């Protein structure tokens, strides 16, 4: 089996690649039964535009992956890629602030027109343009696709409108009323499920993800190749590149440990905002199941009528769920307990600023029950083990934020 992982030198793409290299290819058996077919070929594609992604290249090559450098915005480049069985699309500029201005990541322009392009156009080209080229590729090679989408496809207005109070840096909800009156469809104390509104505004990032989802479904249906869409909440683990607007756990821990100033924005500067988290190895295990269930369908016509397709939802939320949920204040207190003493230097400056951040929301916790039931899957890594892994990486890599662009 040949996997092509785009964004393969990024945090999630590289961790998925390593998981498959360690555990073997998908087969009709499952990972725990050990019934793997022997051959696995992994090709990683990346333009290395994410600061830090270059550090993954050599180690992945040593593990046996082929790394092809190139930009998915270019149709000719994508057309030149070798045929594969499955594309796992992990390439994106994954920040909710991307495209708005200076925060947009930029690959070096390769044409004169790109040099003058606006950040919003650049973002759309990377996140949606790249996906379109990959869908054409899947159509041509009848390759299956696993698309990594995001919790940011859900409506910012609805997310911001979840009635809540903040008491002592803790968000409080009247869940009995929210649930009994079905106040916001798709919302319960278990989290946001797939029925939650996707009405814009979502952020430019969220909109490119939602548009990618729609086109992927259309291509899969029209051209008959298998597709799974995983809407992920926060993915976190060691080796994530930390910036204020993406990779928050890494960013916060590294800045805390090495005494760089920190800012809690919005929500009265309380740090009460809540997110969930999932380790990318748990995502890799799910993708393994998805590919195993549909491996070989590319050669069956029509693949969409195959029972394993009809019986399973294409789009699912994938997250650590409510058990993994934490507030920024809780993360900060955890850092204080681990690195708060003078032994690590004078306490770092923490500013609490009430001013809201664009597209921020108080509570983004995904209900991933559909994925759990459909795929008989559940995360194995809990929040504290993920935090511990990131903390150890922070202690061993004092320059990580310089490498990943997390120092202003």
Ligand X SMILES: NC(=O)c1ccc[n+]([C@@H]2O[C@H](COP(=O)([O-])OP(=O)(O)OC[C@H]3O[C@@H](n4cnc5c(N)ncnc54)[C@H](O)[C@@H]3O)[C@@H](O)[C@H]2O)c1
301 by Cβ neighbours in 10 Å (0-12 / 13-18 / 19+) ranks as exposed
Number of residues forming the site for ligand X (CB under 6 A):
29
Q: Which stretches within 194-242 are classed as H helix? A: 204-223
Nearest distance in Å: CB 226, ligand X: 19
Among 24, 43, 44, 71, binds ligand X (CB under 6 A): 71
Residue 130 interacts with ligand X (CB under 6 A): yes or no:
yes
Structure tokens that stand for 106 in this block: 């930029």
Instruction: Report how far residue 94's alpha carbon sits from residue 123's, in angstroms, rounded to the nearest whole number.
Output: 9
In three-state secondary structure terms, 139 is helix
Among 46, 158, 193, 194, binds ligand X (CB under 6 A): 46
Q: Which is nearer to ligand X, 16 or 293 (CB)?
A: 16
Residue 67 interacts with ligand X (CB under 6 A): yes or no:
no
Instruction: Report how far residue 367's alpha carbon sits from residue 48's, in angstroms, rounded to the nearest whole number.
Output: 32
In three-state secondary structure terms, 369 is helix
Residue 65 interacts with ligand X (CB under 6 A): yes or no:
no
Residue 291 interacts with ligand X (CB under 6 A): yes or no:
no
Answer whether 44's CB lies under 8 Å from 5's CB: yes
Nearest distance in Å: CB 108, ligand X: 12
Antiparallel, parallel or unpaired: β 326-327 and 274-275: antiparallel
Among 3, 4, 5, 7, binds ligand X (CB under 6 A): 7
Residue 12 interacts with ligand X (CB under 6 A): yes or no:
yes
Q: Which is nearer to ligand X, 27 or 273 (CB)?
A: 273
Binding mask 217-256 for ligand X (x = CB under 6 A): ---------------x-xx-----x---------------
Task: Please report, as residue ranges, which positions from 110 to 129 form the binding site for ligand X (by CB under 6 A).
Answer: 126
Nearest distance in Å: CB 98, ligand X: 10
Instruction: Report how far residue 257's alpha carbon sits from residue 387's, in angstroms, rounded to the nearest whole number.
Output: 13
Answer whether 312's CB lies under 8 Å from 194's CB: no
Give the containing element (helix H, strand E) for 133. Answer: helix 130-141
Q: Which is nearer to ligand X, 8 or 226 (CB)?
A: 8
Residue 49 interacts with ligand X (CB under 6 A): yes or no:
yes
Would you give the DSSP letter of residue 390? H
Nearest distance in Å: CB 81, ligand X: 11
Judged by CB under 6 A, the stretch of 6-14, 168-176, 262-270, 353-361 that binds ligand X is 6-14
E strands present in 116-190: 144-150, 165-167, 170-172, 187-188
Q: Which is nearer to ligand X, 39 or 62 (CB)?
A: 62
Please work out, in degrees rounded to the nearest 5, the angle formed at the alpha carbon of residue 136 by the alpha carbons of 135 and 139: 85
Judged by CB under 6 A, the stretch of 17-25, 48-56, 115-123, 391-399 that binds ligand X is 48-56
Nearest distance in Å: CB 13, ligand X: 6
Residue 150 interacts with ligand X (CB under 6 A): yes or no:
yes
Nearest distance in Å: CB 219, ligand X: 17
Residue 287 interacts with ligand X (CB under 6 A): yes or no:
no
Q: Is the dihedral of CA 59, 62, 64, 65 positive or negative?
A: positive
Task: Render 46-88 in DSSP notation, one character per residue.
Answer: E---STTGGGGHHHHHHHT-EEEE--TT-HHHHHTSPP-SEEE
Task: Please report, as residue ranges, which positions from 75 to 104 form the binding site for ligand X (by CB under 6 A).
Answer: 90-94
Residue 72 interacts with ligand X (CB under 6 A): yes or no:
yes
156 closest CA partner among 191, 206, 97, 119: 206
Interface contacts to ligand X, rule CB under 6 A? 7, 9-13, 45-50, 53, 71-73, 90-94, 126, 130, 148, 150, 232, 234-235, 241
């Amino acid at each position: 089996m040949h996997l092509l992982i785009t964004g393969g030198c990024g945090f999630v793409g590289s961790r998925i690649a390593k998981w498959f290299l360690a555990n073997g290819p998908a087969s009709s058996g499952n990972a725990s039964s050990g019934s793997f077919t022997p051959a696995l070929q992994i090709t990683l594609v990346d333009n290395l535009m994410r600061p830090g992604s270059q550090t993954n290249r050599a180690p992945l090559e040593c593990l046996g992956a082929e790394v092809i450098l190139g930009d998915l915005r270019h149709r000719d480049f994508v057309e030149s890629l070798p045929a594969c069985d499955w594309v796992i699309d992990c390439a994106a500029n994954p920040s909710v602030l991307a495209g708005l201005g200076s925060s947009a990541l930029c690959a070096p322009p390769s044409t004169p027109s790109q040099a003058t392009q606006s950040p919003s156009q650049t973002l759309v080209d990377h996140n949606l343009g790249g996906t379109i080229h990959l869908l054409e590729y899947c159509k041509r090679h009848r390759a299956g696709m696993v698309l990594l989408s995001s919790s940011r496809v859900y409506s910012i207005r609805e997310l911001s409108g979840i009635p809540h109070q903040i008491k002592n840096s803790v968000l409080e909800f009247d869940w009995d009323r929210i649930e009994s009156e079905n106040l916001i469809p798709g919302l319960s104390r278990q989290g946001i499920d797939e029925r939650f509104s996707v009405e814009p505004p979502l952020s430019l990032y969220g909109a490119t993800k939602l548009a990618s989802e729609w086109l992927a479904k259309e291509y899969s249906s029209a051209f008959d190749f298998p597709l799974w869409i995983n809407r992920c909440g926060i993915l976190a683990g060691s080796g994530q590149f930390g910036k204020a607007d993406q990779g928050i756990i890494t960013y916060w821990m590294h800045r805390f440990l090495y005494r760089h100033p920190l800012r809690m924005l919005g929500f009265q500067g309380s740090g009460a905002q809540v997110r969930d988290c999932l380790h990318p190895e748990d995502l890799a295990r799910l993708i393994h199941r998805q590919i195993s269930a549909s491996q070989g369908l590319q050669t069956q016509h029509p693949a969409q009528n195959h029972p394993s397709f009809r019986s399973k939802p294409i789009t699912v939320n994938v997250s650590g769920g409510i058990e993994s949920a934490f507030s920024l204040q809780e993360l900060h207190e955890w850092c204080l307990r681990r690195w708060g003493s003078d032994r690590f230097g004078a306490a770092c400056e923490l500013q609490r600023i009430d001013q809201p951040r664009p597209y921020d929301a108080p509570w983004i916790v995904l209900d991933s029950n559909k994925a759990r039931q459909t795929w008989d899957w559940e995360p194995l890594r809990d929040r504290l083990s993920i935090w511990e892994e990131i903390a150890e990486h922070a202690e061993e890599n004092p320059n990580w934020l310089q490498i990943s662009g997390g120092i202003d």
